[in-house]
């Protein structure tokens, strides 16, 4: 057989592969459209979503400030965490709070820089973990929680809220006031997370803003309205005392699961199963932190941070999320008796399939585009019959998938524009392609990690290196 014959044989198999992918794309597209329809229907006609969406904090009655504990795990975060804690301690518009930073005995530089911050602020505490690092984020948080209980006993106080943050977070000055307003009624309060933009051409770090913009303005709002459950982002999450004590009791003194790579996601599911109340809040207030210090303008109470800018770091981070949410979550949580909850658990876990389908579909589309380009450019070129010739149903699904793709691009454009402006909204279109590549290789790495272990719960913590914004130039 000639090379040309092999190519024709390849096209023959390509038809069946493409048909398989088109069916999956149709299902995922239809699934996403359902969420879009629910969001816009509620947004335009229902008071339910508006009740906890786009609220101005100034409209909330000023309540007595309850004691708050901010928990920050830090392994090899020198040069980052001290800036984060200093910014938080100087800009926070709240009276009764303490910051607990978890460090390790063998991480001398991070311990030293936190000790210096503790000398400046009486409400900042360096919690040295019992075991040398790195252990896991959950283990570090458990050490912090033990320290908090001892401090409560020594000082005769009780913390009403336990707030999760990472070492690279930039916090809003009124964040604790928002948590304070909702704590009497809710056990888990989550605020939006919006990544910082680096350079416009750094697609790896910027593709996060596309995903988080849509997730934290549309998807989580719909999820909350349908299930009353909100996945914790691991940062900007406030847990009530009742929630923490229940988690600690069930974990035999350890509220966070050390075997899980996504302990934040795990606790939000468990709290919902125990009947506790969760909420996702979008609220506005004037920010006096360095992020908007120049004009002290009203802004969304959210967490800002830099996400990985290198391809390798992004793949490692996302593969950790996939392992924790999909594989470990499937084993630990399984399914529930609530079909609505199961639907969103499926949406969380479908990425193992959808990431692969999106990438392979993109590869096949490029091949078909090249064949079309060849036939258009060269005269007397061989005419390749469409692989979907005389398949009306497949053609119909193809046209539907084109509409679904346009719908996704439009929605991403809309939500990116709302927070990041028009230029980033336009750039989000080509960034979608690069995001598919990152997600695919994160998928491959996650599957490799799972298959390389005899137990999915034995996969070790793979920490991401962090950056903090330059305060002087922001």
| pLDDT tens by residue, 411-446 | 999 999 999 999 999 999 999 999 999 999 999 999
Separation of alpha carbons 169 and 255, rounded Å: 22
Extract the tokens encoding 298.
């009203």
Q: What is the pLDDT of residues 35-71, one digit of tens each?
A: 999 999 988 876 555 555 555 565 565 688 999 999 9
Question: Where along the chain do its domains lie?
Answer: 1-474
Q: What's the rounded Cα separation, in Å, for the pair 144 and 142?
A: 5
Q: How far apart are CA 179 and CA 176, in angstroms?
A: 5
Q: Give Cβ neighbours of residue 61 (< 8 Å, ≥ 6 apart).
A: 181
Residue 387's pLDDT is 57
Question: Is residue 312 within 8 Å of 465, Cβ to Cβ?
Answer: no
The CA–CA distances, whole Å, from 50 to 47, 62, 119, 237, 282 equal 5, 21, 44, 21, 10
Q: What gap in Å lies between CA 130 and CA 448, rounded to an integer?
A: 32
Cα within 13 Å of Cα(10), Cβ side: 11
Give the distance, in angstroms, between the CA of residue 431 and the centroid of all CA atoms in the same chain: 17
CA distance 370 to 372: 5
Among candidate residues 209, 387, 224, the one with its CA nearest the CA of residue 302: 209
pLDDT of 117 reads: 96
Q: What is the pLDDT of residue 56?
A: 59
R_g over Cα of the chain: 24
- Is the pLDDT at 216 greater than 60? The verdict is yes
* Number of C-beta neighbours around residue 47 at 10 A: 7
Q: Is the predicted pLDDT of residue 326 greater than 50, yes or no?
A: yes
Pick the CATH number of 1-474 from 3.40.50.620, 3.40.50.170, 3.90.550.10, 3.30.479.10: 3.90.550.10
What band does 294 get if pLDDT is binned at 50, 70 and 90?
very low
Number of C-alpha atoms within 13 angstroms, CB side, residue 439? 21
- Per-residue model confidence (pLDDT) at position 134: 87
Quick one: average pLDDT of 162-175?
94
Give residue 298's pLDDT. Answer: 80
Q: 470, 346, 343: which is closest to 80 by C-alpha?
A: 470
| 378 touches 369 (CB < 8 A) | no
Residue range 234-275, pLDDT digits in tens: 999 999 999 999 999 999 999 999 888 888 899 999 999 999
Which is nearest to 51 in space by CA: 287, 215, 221, 303? 221
Q: Report the distance separating Cα 86 and Cα 171, nearest Å.
A: 11
Percent of all residues in the chain with a pLDDT value above 70, rounded to a whole number: 85
Confidence of residue 146 (pLDDT cuts 50, 70, 90): very high
* CB within 8 Å of 276: residues ≥ 6 apart: 187, 188, 240, 242, 243, 246
* Model pLDDT, residue 404: 96
User: What is the per-residue pLDDT across 386-409, written as a single tens digit (0 to 9) for each?
Assistant: 556 667 788 889 899 999 999 999
Residue 464: band (very low, low, confident or very high) from pLDDT cuts 50, 70, 90: low
Phi, psi of 101 (to 5 degrees): -105, 120
Cβ within 8 Å of residue 52, ≥6 positions away: 224, 279, 280, 281, 282
* Predicted local distance difference test score (pLDDT) of residue 263: 86
Distance from CA of residue 155 to its chain's centroid? 36
Residue 135 CA, distance from chain mean position: 22
pLDDT of residue 474: 41
Task: With a cut of 80, say whether residue 144 has pLDDT above it.
Answer: yes
Mean pLDDT calculated for residue range 162-186: 94
Q: Give the range among 78-92, 284-298, 368-382, 424-438 with minimum mean pLDDT.
A: 284-298
Tell me the average pLDDT of the chain. Answer: 87
Kind of pairing, strands 298-300 and 303-305? unpaired
| Distance (Å) of CA 168 to CA 73, 135, 235 | 10, 19, 10
- Across the strands, what pairs with 299? 285
Which of the four pLDDT bands, split at 50, 70 and 90, describes residue 473?
very low
Per the CB < 8 A criterion, the answer to whether 308 and 205 are in contact is: yes
Quote the pLDDT of residue 13: 76
Q: Which pLDDT band, with edges at 50, 70 and 90, does 292 fall under?
A: very low
């Amino acid at each position: 057989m000639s090379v040309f014959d092999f190519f024709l044989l390849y096209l023959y198999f390509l038809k069946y592969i493409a048909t398989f992918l088109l069916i999956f794309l149709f299902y995922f597209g239809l699934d996403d459209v359902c969420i879009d329809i629910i969001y816009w229907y509620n947004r335009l006609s229902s008071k339910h979503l508006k009740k906890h969406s786009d609220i101005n904090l100034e409209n909330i009655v000023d309540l007595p400030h309850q004691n708050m504990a901010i928990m920050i795990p830090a392994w090899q975060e020198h040069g980052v965490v001290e800036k984060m804690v200093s910014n938080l301690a100087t800009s926070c518009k709240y009276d009764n709070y303490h910051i607990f930073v978890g460090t390790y005995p063998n991480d001398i530089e991070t311990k030293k820089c936190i000790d210096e911050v503790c000398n400046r602020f009486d409400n900042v505490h360096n919690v040295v973990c019992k075991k040398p690092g790195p252990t896991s984020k959950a283990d570090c948080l458990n050490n912090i929680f033990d320290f908090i209980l001892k401090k409560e006993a020594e000082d005769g106080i009780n913390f009403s809220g336990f707030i999760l943050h990472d070492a690279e977070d930039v916090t809003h000055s009124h964040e604790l006031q928002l948590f304070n307003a909702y704590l009497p009624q809710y056990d888990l309060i989550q605020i939006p997370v919006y990544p910082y933009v680096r350079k416009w051409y750094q697609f790896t770090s910027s593709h996060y803003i596309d995903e988080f913009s849509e997730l934290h303005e549309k998807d989580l709002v719909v999820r909350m309205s349908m299930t009353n459950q909100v996945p914790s982002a691991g940062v900007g999450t406030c847990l009530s005392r009742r929630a923490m004590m229940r988690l600690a009791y069930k974990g035999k003194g350890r509220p966070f699961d050390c075997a899980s790579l996504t302990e934040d996601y795990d606790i939000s599911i468990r709290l919902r199963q125990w009947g506790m109340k969760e909420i996702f809040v979008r609220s506005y207030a004037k920010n006096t932190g360095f992020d908007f210090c120049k004009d002290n303008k009203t802004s969304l109470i959210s967490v800002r941070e830099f996400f990985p800018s290198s391809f390798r770091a992004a793949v490692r981070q996302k593969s950790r999320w996939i392992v924790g949410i999909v594989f470990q979550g499937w084993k630990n949580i399984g399914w529930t008796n609530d079909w609505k909850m199961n639907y969103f658990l499926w949406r969380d876990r479908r990425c193992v399939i959808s990431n692969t389908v999106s990438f392979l579909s993109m590869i096949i589309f490029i091949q078909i585009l090249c064949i079309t380009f060849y036939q258009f450019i060269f005269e007397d070129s061989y005419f390749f019959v469409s692989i979907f010739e005389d398949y009306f149903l497949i053609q119909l699904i193809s046209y539907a998938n084109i509409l679904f793709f346009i719908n996704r691009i439009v929605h991403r454009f809309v939500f990116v524009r709302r927070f990041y402006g028009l230029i980033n909204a336009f750039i989000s279109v080509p960034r979608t392609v690069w995001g598919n590549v990152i997600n695919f290789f994160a998928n491959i790495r996650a599957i490799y990690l799972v298959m390389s272990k005899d137990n999915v719960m034995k996969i070790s913590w793979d920490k991401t290196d962090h950056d903090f914004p330059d305060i002087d130039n922001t």
